[in-house]
Structure 1
Amino acid sequence: MPRPLRSAALAATATALTLLVTGCGSSEDGHGDAKKGAAPAVGAQEINAQPASRVRQGGTFRFAVQKWVHQYNYFHVDGTDGDAQALLEQVEPVLMPRDAKGVPHPDPNFLKSAKVTSTSPQVVTYELNPKAKWSDGKQLGYRDFRQLWQDLNGHDSRYLVADSTGYDHIGKVERGANDQEVVVTFARPYADWQRLFRPLLPAAGIDTPEKFNKGWIEKFPITGSSWKVKSLDRTSQTVTMVPDPNWWGPRPKLDSMTYRALGQQAWTEAYLNKEIDEAPAILPEDYKRLVKAPGTAVRRGARWDEVHLTLGTRGPLKDLKVRQALDLAIDRKGIVTAFDKDIPFDVATLDNHFFMPNQAGYQANSGKWGRYDLAAAKKLLDQAGWKDNGEGKPRTKGGRSLTLDYVITAGGSTASLDQAQIVQQQLGMAGIKVQIQKVPDEDWSDKYIDRGNFDLTSFRNVDQIFPSQLYSTFQQPKGDQTYLNFGRIGTPQIDALLKKASEETDVAASHKLYNQADKLIWEQVHSIEIYQRPQILAVRKNMANFGAPGLGDLDYVTMGWTK
């Protein structure tokens, strides 16, 4: 299933928190591609789509997740883990799931319609399905929309939100002709309004800061979809979902789904031992084993999915010159080349933080900050006052050595360690010492990344199809509220451009503004993009309506085993 990382997604983000190498792909019959070809295009997906008549009733599907989830409130600053979002969206209303091209459409089980009913001011009217109910028996209604907006609009700092973008554009949320008609009036235009209220949460579960911040820790207090939680077993590190008998829509095909917390390096072995039913076939060594497994299909898709390095500012990287020197000392092409040889299509370096190379709006904005220039890097470090002590020795300043911690998960893939070691070697040539710090998987987010307790790290942002979703990633923090800008790097100019872009309803003009902001983000060295990562997934061949959905969403109701 698509698990957004650091927001839906950070996942989700499944959460490949560090660089994962792209492995060979295959068609449904399991034969790999013989020579290099083009990467999957936008809209490409492989899910073994089957009508309901071809899918049998019953059975279990078993997933792996990277760690035991602590915070299930996706909107909380600690809840943006991709696995958490995936589980949350199985049991809460996703009002407008996306098709293969990433276009949202109302799910009639929840939403009769959602449309702009006025442009000056911008007004969006939602018509909810009156059959839709929460697990406490209450109907979905305008109060849920209003409460989520009030929590997320940034007006009350007691709500520790991950992202207020879009919600801070809304002026009011009101009852329409009845409780199931929701009228959302925007104080400022917002082009990406279709991304809001996903998933919808019940007002009763988030109507106080205490409930919002702590009420979703290791539990789902109220649900409202086709599935419900049967058990969260911390001892076995397993979450079990079953169909909700009070569901008003078509009956799900499967009897249960399980999610087992399992170190990433163990997924291939678990799949081959028939302990789980899907596993990433990204790494060449994993692909070679998985593609040979009986009854296995390797499915590929084109996803909004980028691999990057994130920089922190708790130490030497607070200095812009040092960040820029680090940027110039890293050979991005060298990193990509180290992994490119074993995949069936060419991978290029990624030069944009907002758009993928096969997406409208993409242009290369990295400029000189995307080019490897060791001499220029050394010159910047000289200017920043870091003394060159000769080859193989870290630079020093005021009695301190220029040493950075690169934080990775102890349970991550060999590729994550390989990338860290490549960066370590490259930066060492400039006199920057890198210490690779392995931390427990369960601590990576809560104790390190979310707290800015790192100098360097790597994770993926995925499924950021609406560019305004990334505003909180680059937004300047306000006091203790860091949003998703873990390194706390930003400027008023970047904020102003992103704000203006989010309010621009002309697509071409909006793209231009995002690209202007992107150039400043490269210059500030907020993060260093490396490449777009495709989906390559091994799954049991007789699983229908599941696999690599690309820009789309999976349907938990239609997933099942073929007859």
Structure 2
Amino acid sequence: MSHVGAPRGRTCSRGPRSRTLRSAVLLTTGVLAVSVLSGCSSGEEESGARAAAPDIAPAARAKVADGGTLRWAVEAMPTTLNAFQADADATTARIAQAVLPSLFTLDDRGRPQRNPDYLESAEIVEREPKQVVLYKLNQQAVWTDGREIGASDFVAQWRALSGKNSAYWTARNAGYERIEKIERGASDLEVRVTFNRRYADWRALFSPLYPKDVMGTPAAFNDGARTQLKSSAGPFQFQGIDTASGTATLVRNPRWWGQPAKLDSIVLSAVPHAGRATALARGTVHLAEIDRATADRIALAVRESDPAHGQPLTHGPGADVTPSAALKSWALAYGSDPAKARLFQAARQRNQQAIAAYAAEQKALRGFVVRKSLEPAYTQLAMNGESGPLSDERVRRAVARALNRQELAETVLKPLGLPAQPVGSHLALAGQPAYADSSGALGSQDTEEAQALLADAGWTRGGARKPAGPDAGPKRAGAEASAAAHKPGKDEKGDAPSSDGLYIVGDDKPSLDSPALDRPGIDRPGIGANSGPDGTHVLAPAPAAAAQGIALLRQAEAVGDTDADKGAPDRPKAHSAQSAQGGGVPGAYAPRGTAAPAPAAAAGPLGKDGESLTLRFVLPSGPGSESLRAVGEKISGMLDRVGISTEITKVPDESYFKDHIASGDYDLALYSWPATAYPATDGRPIFAKPQPAGDGSLLVEQNYTRVGTDHIDQLFDQAAAELDENAARELVKQADARIWAAAGSIPLYQRPQLVAARTDVVNAGAFGFATPRYEDIGFTQRPKK
């Protein structure tokens, strides 16, 4: 599951079927001092930062066989073929790339390049008094119905997407509302576009370009292109969708004027990620984005194909069955109890069938290779600044300063052999001209600075203590509450010196069956470390008999001979701010005569006004989200070290973004934004300051963190109107520095892109930034039918 946000630059219009995301609470933002942002980038030109190269098995066209059908896995069948509608998805975009004109495509560094199949030239011919762009079209460019691509198609698309007619149900791209008029030039092959406001990202317009019969009327726009495209103009044309089989078919376009497509057809098949290994093994798909687990399976399959391997499968169904368990299963299957024997025989048969099927799949997966690069998207930690502790900028900054972003990037990317560098920009990725590491506006990982920010915001040790009321006794949080609530009984004397002169603190005396005694990082009341007045750690002692037992337990664990851990499930990790700050091992001893430790609350969780500092961390629960959850657990541990507790809530993948991220039902969350070649246009709705709506709610556009400033909005507006590309990039970098300082979202790492491809598939795989050249994709040998 990708958990990528809605495409950048898409904002919801107010048509009958549009959807506007709102919030009932207004946002409060702090004022950013200019001094904080001065010199915040590295000071060197970052545009030379290298992007990860595409991994597509490039091959010259002469080495690509003519013909064949490529079966390509997608998430789902599209609900519309109109890429400018709110429910368009990744499959819609893939079809549009193959069958419709894109006037500009992206190279492997994410830079827009003129597409010569459609444009002979495109340039700004006038800047004053108004900006005018002149497009000169390829004279051979025609729609599949034989009509030339021309000014009428440009006009129809502009009118549909300008936002002036609410009858069009559109998630419109910004920029079209800046157009004043579109005219025919000196010939039918020239189109003059005049803007009423300058627009730096004019290359983003008219890609994809639809024929006027799709854009010409609201009815055609809203419903005419949902399931069919009567005319198109790409190397392929759309044939149709088979809902029964979950496939969409593209066939070679006989009217294509460019280099002919090598493939006869492309079949897009809806295959869930969990079923892609099986689909690849069965040959029902030849190309598929995969998760790390499937990539590992393919790597194992290739390794097992080596004759030197000579070993049975050590993974998959039945691989973890021990000899003793197998013997017991056999005994029960052929035992004296007929009913039980039948059950075990059936279970053994099912297991054997699963093992055989898995082994067959592994054998088939030897014919595939994993192609990998970095996806043009980054994963971020989002902080909901609408209300609660994270509405305070100091708390958001403390969260950011607690993170070791390098460690998080390495967690995901290093095992895959991909560059593991934290992302330094919200608006561009390494290799793009607009990229600069502006994270210095916020600062790097610093535990002491994070704690200082929290203290300045009023979150202190012991601050979670509830004030005493007239009808309630003292209520204290954490270890202090537990110790205070317990009264010494017949055999307990509270805090008192032991017979050997050591202090026994609290009521929770250690015992041999207490797993917490020898679990560093898990604290129990009265058994932990506290800081004395001189800053030294004072460790609470245990009775001598318990100490002897603890020593034996430790000695046994050292050789792996404790019964407590044999076959036991993993114990949950208790994040403790106390132990993270250098406390000792629970149950250890202090020297004779050491003073009793200070009250436990002094080292307890952070709190304010009787409430503990706990943030709700929402994560997806699906099988394809393991790496996201692993990153979430690491972040939780990092926050714990500065005194911030997290409550991890796992929700179904299908509701994760819509019901939690977009609706604001979270404190912390992980999700991704795709990269863009047009950050001034596409970044604005993501980071725009939320505005009050007429009904008193908050219009957030795509800013799901609800954090923004007027200055950020102004920088975006200036960048969008700046025709000098270098000046526009500098404004984008300034906006990014301000976004870092506001600390609503923290970019972590560029997402890995893993694609399984049959070994004879070329010019396809992990494309990275680059727009695929569909006409060049094919097989090294024409597949047998």
Q: Structure 1 length as normaliser, TM-score?
A: 0.80
1:133-172 to 2 correspondences below 5 Å: 133-134=142-143, 139-155=148-164, 162=171, 164-172=173-181
* Post-superposition offset of 1:199: 0.9
Aligned counterpart for 2:722 among listed residues 504, 517, 528: 504
Alpha-carbon spacing, 1:470–1:329, altered in 2? closer, same or farther (3 Å)? same
Aligned counterpart for 2:761 among listed residues 519, 522, 543: 543
1:483-498 to 2 correspondences below 5 Å: 483-498=701-716
Aligned counterpart for 1:93 among listed residues 96, 101, 109: 101
Pair 1:461-2:686 in alignment:
no
Alpha-carbon spacing, 1:52–1:454, altered in 2? closer, same or farther (3 Å)? same
CA–CA distance in 2 between the matches of 1:448 and 1:424? 19
Paired amino acid for 1:439: P
Tell me the residue number matched to 1:232: 241
SS at match of 2:7: coil
Alpha-carbon spacing, 1:506–1:433, altered in 2? closer, same or farther (3 Å)? same
Pair 1:128-2:137 in alignment:
yes
Moved >6 Å (runs of 4+):
2-5, 396-401
CA–CA distance in 2 between the matches of 1:449 and 1:136? 44
* Post-superposition offset of 1:494: 0.7
Deviations, residues 443-485 of structure 1 (Å, cap 9, x unaligned): 5555555555554443333341333332332234565865433
CA–CA distance in 2 between the matches of 1:207 and 1:481? 30
1:349-498 to 2 correspondences below 5 Å: 349-367=422-440, 369-374=442-447, 376-377=449-450, 380=453, 388=464, 389-390=477-478, 402-408=614-620, 410-428=622-640, 430-441=643-654, 443-444=655-656, 447-452=659-664, 454-468=666-680, 469-477=682-690, 479=693, 482-498=700-716
Q: Which has the higher helix share?
A: 2
Alpha-carbon spacing, 1:209–1:448, altered in 2? closer, same or farther (3 Å)? farther
Alpha-carbon spacing, 1:394–1:221, altered in 2? closer, same or farther (3 Å)? farther
Q: Percent identity?
A: 30
Tell me the residue number matched to 1:517: 735
Say if 1:284 and 1:342, in contact at 8 Å, map to a contact too. Answer: no
CA–CA distance in 1 between the matches of 2:86 and 2:371? 33
The 10-residue stretch of structure 1 (445-454 or 332-341) with the greater mean CA deviation from structure 2: 445-454
Alpha-carbon spacing, 1:339–1:52, altered in 2? closer, same or farther (3 Å)? closer
Say if 2:59 and 2:763, in contact at 8 Å, map to a contact too. Answer: yes
The 10-residue stretch of structure 1 (140-149 or 446-455) with the greater mean CA deviation from structure 2: 446-455
Tell me the residue number matched to 1:323: 396
CA–CA distance in 2 between the matches of 1:538 and 1:195? 31
Pair 1:338-2:556 in alignment:
no
Gaps of at least 5 residues in structure 1 are 11-38
SS at match of 1:342: helix
Say if 1:9 and 1:461, in contact at 8 Å, map to a contact too. Answer: no
Deviations, residues 281-300 of structure 1 (Å, cap 9, x unaligned): 77377246247243444445
Tell me the residue number matched to 2:284: 275
* Post-superposition offset of 1:166: 3.2
Tell me the residue number matched to 2:53: 44
CA–CA distance in 2 between the matches of 1:404 and 1:541? 45
Tell me the residue number matched to 1:27: none
CA–CA distance in 2 between the matches of 1:482 and 1:420? 25
SS at match of 2:71: strand
* Post-superposition offset of 1:418: 1.7
Tell me the residue number matched to 1:205: 214
Alpha-carbon spacing, 1:332–1:484, altered in 2? closer, same or farther (3 Å)? same
CA–CA distance in 2 between the matches of 1:497 and 1:372? 27
The 10-residue stretch of structure 1 (228-237 or 486-495) with the greater mean CA deviation from structure 2: 228-237
CA–CA distance in 2 between the matches of 1:437 and 1:512? 40
SS at match of 2:417: coil
Tell me the residue number matched to 1:294: 366
* Post-superposition offset of 1:341: 4.1
Tell me the residue number matched to 1:188: 197
Paired amino acid for 2:688: Q
* Post-superposition offset of 1:553: 1.6
Tell me the residue number matched to 1:14: none
* Post-superposition offset of 1:496: 0.9
Say if 2:8 and 2:683, in contact at 8 Å, map to a contact too. Answer: no
Alpha-carbon spacing, 1:228–1:361, altered in 2? closer, same or farther (3 Å)? closer
Deviations, residues 161-182 of structure 1 (Å, cap 9, x unaligned): 5564433443322222355421
CA–CA distance in 2 between the matches of 1:73 and 1:287? 36
Tell me the residue number matched to 1:348: 421
Pair 1:116-2:334 in alignment:
no
* Post-superposition offset of 1:194: 2.0
Paired amino acid for 1:372: Q
Alpha-carbon spacing, 1:324–1:201, altered in 2? closer, same or farther (3 Å)? farther
CA–CA distance in 2 between the matches of 1:488 and 1:179? 47
Alpha-carbon spacing, 1:408–1:516, altered in 2? closer, same or farther (3 Å)? same
Tell me the residue number matched to 1:254: 263
Root mean square deviation of aligned Cα: 3.9
CA–CA distance in 1 between the matches of 2:227 and 2:622? 22
CA–CA distance in 1 between the matches of 2:215 and 2:665? 29
CA–CA distance in 2 between the matches of 1:503 and 1:509? 10
SS at match of 1:146: helix
Alpha-carbon spacing, 1:399–1:46, altered in 2? closer, same or farther (3 Å)? closer
Alpha-carbon spacing, 1:410–1:238, altered in 2? closer, same or farther (3 Å)? farther
Say if 2:685 and 2:701, in contact at 8 Å, map to a contact too. Answer: yes
* Post-superposition offset of 1:183: 0.8
Q: How many residues align?
A: 532
Q: Structure 2 length as normaliser, TM-score?
A: 0.59
CA–CA distance in 1 between the matches of 2:377 and 2:280? 24
Say if 2:620 and 2:652, in contact at 8 Å, map to a contact too. Answer: yes
Paired amino acid for 1:328: R
Say if 2:606 and 2:613, in contact at 8 Å, map to a contact too. Answer: yes
Alpha-carbon spacing, 1:115–1:4, altered in 2? closer, same or farther (3 Å)? farther
Larger Rg: 2
Aligned counterpart for 1:306 among listed residues 378, 390, 393: 378
Gaps of at least 5 residues in structure 2 are 11-47, 303-364, 465-476, 479-575, 578-604
Alpha-carbon spacing, 1:236–1:537, altered in 2? closer, same or farther (3 Å)? same
* Post-superposition offset of 1:394: 8.8
Alpha-carbon spacing, 1:58–1:330, altered in 2? closer, same or farther (3 Å)? same
Alpha-carbon spacing, 1:426–1:43, altered in 2? closer, same or farther (3 Å)? closer
CA–CA distance in 1 between the matches of 2:650 and 2:769? 34
* Post-superposition offset of 1:543: 1.6
CA–CA distance in 2 between the matches of 1:141 and 1:314? 47
Alpha-carbon spacing, 1:147–1:402, altered in 2? closer, same or farther (3 Å)? farther
CA–CA distance in 1 between the matches of 2:425 and 2:672? 14
CA–CA distance in 2 between the matches of 1:195 and 1:7? 14
Tell me the residue number matched to 1:19: none
Alpha-carbon spacing, 1:202–1:513, altered in 2? closer, same or farther (3 Å)? same
